[in-house]
Structure 1
Amino acid sequence: MMLVFPAAARATSYISRSPAPSFIRQSTVFRSIKRYPFKLNYTTMSIPTTQRAVQINRTGGPEVIEINTAAPVPTPNDNEILVNNQFAGLNYIDTYFRSGLYQPSPYPYTLGREGEGHVVAVGSNVTDFKVGDRVAYTGPNTQAEYTVADPNKTIKIPDEIKPGVTVASMIQGLTALTMIRESHLVKAGDSILVHAAAGGVGLWLCQLLRIVGAGKIIATASTEEKLELAKANGATHGINYTKEDWVAKVKEITGDQDEPGVIAVFDGVGASTFEGDLEVLSRKGSLISFGNASGSVPPFAIARLAAKNIKVMRPQLFAYIAKKEEFTAYANELLELLKTEKIQVRIHETYTLEQAPQAHKDIESRGTTGKLLYKL
Structure 2
Amino acid sequence: MRAIQITEFGGPEVLRETQLPDPVPGPGQLLLDVDSAGVNYADTHTVEDSYLSASTLPMVPGAEVVGRTADGRRVVALTDGGGYAERALAQEYLAHDVPDGVTDTQALSLIVQGLTAWHLLRTSARLAPGESVVVHAAAGGTGSLAVQLAKAFGAGRVIATASTKEKRDLALGLGADAAVDAAPEDLKERLVEANGGRKVDVVLEMAGGPVFDASLAAVAPFGRLVTYGMASRTPATPVEPARLMGRSQAVIGFWLMHCLGRPGMYREPMAELLAMTAHGRLRPLAGGVYPLSEAARAHQDLRSRQTFGKLVLDVRV
Which TM-score band (shorter chain)?
A: over 0.9
Distance across 1 between alignment mates of 2:178 and 2:98: 35
RMSD: 1.7
Which secondary structure state, in structure 1, belongs to the residue aligned with residue 109 of structure 2? coil
Distance across 2 between alignment mates of 1:162 and 1:243: 36
Aligned position for 2:42: 93
Post-superposition CA distance 1:289-340 (Å, at most 9, x none): 1111112534332322111121111101121233365321111111111111
- Could you list the structure 1 runs, at least 4 aligned residues long, displaced by more than 3 angstroms after superposition: 103-106, 241-244, 296-300
Q: Specify every segment of 5 or more residues in structure 2 that has no aligned partner in the other structure, as ranges.
A: none
TM-score, length of structure 2 as denominator length: 0.94
Pick which of 345-354 and 291-300 moved more.
Answer: 291-300
Q: 1:293 to 1:208 in 2, by over 3 A?
A: same
| Correspondence 1:113 to 2:54 | no
Aligned partner of 1:156 among 77, 97, 105: 97
* Contact 2:183–2:211 (CA under 8 A) maintained in structure 1: no
TM-score, length of structure 1 as denominator length: 0.79
Paired residues in the alignment total 312
Which secondary structure state, in structure 2, belongs to the residue aligned with residue 344 of structure 1? coil
Which secondary structure state, in structure 2, belongs to the residue aligned with residue 73 of structure 1? coil
Aligned partner of 2:5 among 48, 55, 61: 55
Distance across 2 between alignment mates of 1:221 and 1:350: 22
Aligned position for 2:156: 215
Aligned position for 1:66: 16
Distance across 2 between alignment mates of 1:177 and 1:325: 12
Aligned position for 1:136: 76
Which secondary structure state, in structure 1, belongs to the residue aligned with residue 203 of structure 2? strand
Aligned position for 1:41: none
Distance across 1 between alignment mates of 2:187 and 2:233: 19
Q: Specify every segment of 5 or more residues in structure 1 that has no aligned partner in the other structure, as ranges.
A: 1-50, 121-130
Q: What letter matches 2:76 in structure 1?
A: A
Equivalent residues in 2 for 1:116-265, closer than 5 Å: 116-120=66-70, 131-139=71-79, 140-242=81-183, 245-255=186-196, 260-265=198-203
Aligned position for 1:80: 29
Pick which of 335-344 and 98-107 moved more.
Answer: 98-107
Distance across 2 between alignment mates of 1:291 and 1:106: 21
**How many angstroms does 1:163 deviate by?**
3.6
Distance across 2 between alignment mates of 1:237 and 1:164: 27
Which secondary structure state, in structure 1, belongs to the residue aligned with residue 299 of structure 2? helix
Aligned partner of 1:313 among 242, 252, 257: 252
Distance across 1 between alignment mates of 2:290 and 2:105: 12
Aligned position for 2:208: 270
Distance across 1 between alignment mates of 2:256 and 2:126: 15
Q: 1:333 to 1:145 in 2, by over 3 A?
A: same
**How many angstroms does 1:54 deviate by?**
1.4
| Correspondence 1:282 to 2:215 | no
Post-superposition CA distance 1:215-271 (Å, at most 9, x none): 111111111111000011111001123497321122223345xxx211110011111
Distance across 1 between alignment mates of 2:276 and 2:266: 15
Distance across 1 between alignment mates of 2:196 and 2:159: 13
**How many angstroms does 1:361 deviate by?**
0.5
